[in-house]
Amino acid sequence: MAFQTAHHNTGLVVNQAHNVVIQEQNITYVLNDESISVNKSFFSGSHYERHKNVNPPRTKDTCRWFLNHLTFQEWRQRGRSDVLWVSADPGCGKSVLSRSLVDEGLTHNGSATTCYFFFESNEDQNQITTAICALLNQLFCRGRGEKLFRKFAIEAIEKDGGKLKDNFGLLWDLFISVASDSATGDVICILDALDECRQPDRNTLMLHLKQFHEKFADKWNES
């Protein structure tokens, strides 16, 4: 499953956080009388690249059933935020396809940023908070990630501290804010093996993706 955020000169203005001292890539701030050192790896934790690479690369000329499909081509060229849902029986190569979309940049023609998370049926990879943290970590570690981290993450961390990484609602709002900022550019997120996400989390994520789709579909129809 993939979803993308696309925008044209849109963004959010976030107030600067207080009591923040920035030294190179490390950020030190005081929260409830406790000194905490934070850098862009604050949202790391999942070895998301390793879990992606467990799946083999595609063999030459495979996955064309998807790449040449009209639905994918229309989604790819749509130029607006939306969700693309891909389903198939087990063993049909969906995870190989997902890895190929990431590694080969097959989801876009231009300079979009591709983020990803491969769910697995274990405690390390089956939670949506882990997934969103991984997506945020990828955004903050690329391109203008340092600027985005200072603009969005410091305030959120200052407000919620370590609890932030365990609160899906807060993480989701933060992710949408970062991905929607004009400095981020277009963002494409690939979430693989959603069926291996634990049931309560999967229901929550699907609800948010449904709302994401409906929100931007309504905006597109209004325009």
pLDDT per residue over 86-132, tens digit each? 988 888 899 999 999 999 988 887 778 999 999 999 998 999 999 99
What is the model's pLDDT at position 218? 60
H or E element at residue 191: strand 187-192
Tens digits of residue pLDDT in 29-83? 444 434 444 566 789 888 999 999 999 999 999 999 899 999 999 988 887 788 9
| Token couple for 171 | 């993480």
Is residue 185 pLDDT above 60, yes or no? yes
- Burial degree of 87 (CB within 10 A; 0-12, 13-18, 19+): exposed
The chain-wide mean pLDDT, for the chain, equals 81
Q: pLDDT at position 222, please?
A: 58
User: Which distant-in-sequence residues (6+ apart) come within 8 Å of 87 by Cβ?
Assistant: 94
Q: SS3 for 93? A: coil
CB 139 within 8 A of CB 145: yes
Distance between CA 189 and CA 181 in Å, rounded? 15
How far is the C-alpha of 175 from the C-alpha of 133, rounded, in Å? 9
R_g of the chain, CA atoms, integer Å: 18
The closest of 101, 129, 125, 64 to 189, measured between CA atoms, is: 101
* pTM (2 d.p.): 0.82
Higher per-residue confidence, 100 vs 17: 100
Instruction: Specify the pLDDT at position 172.
Output: 97
- In the numeric block, which tokens belong to residue 216? 């931007």
192 vs 27, 50, 211, CA distance in Å? 32, 14, 19
For 38, phi then psi, to 5°, come to: -135, 140
Q: Exposed, middle or buried: residue 163 (CB in 10 Å: 0-12, 13-18, 19+)?
A: exposed
Res 223: pLDDT? 54
Of 129, 175, 132, nearest to 152 (Cα)? 175
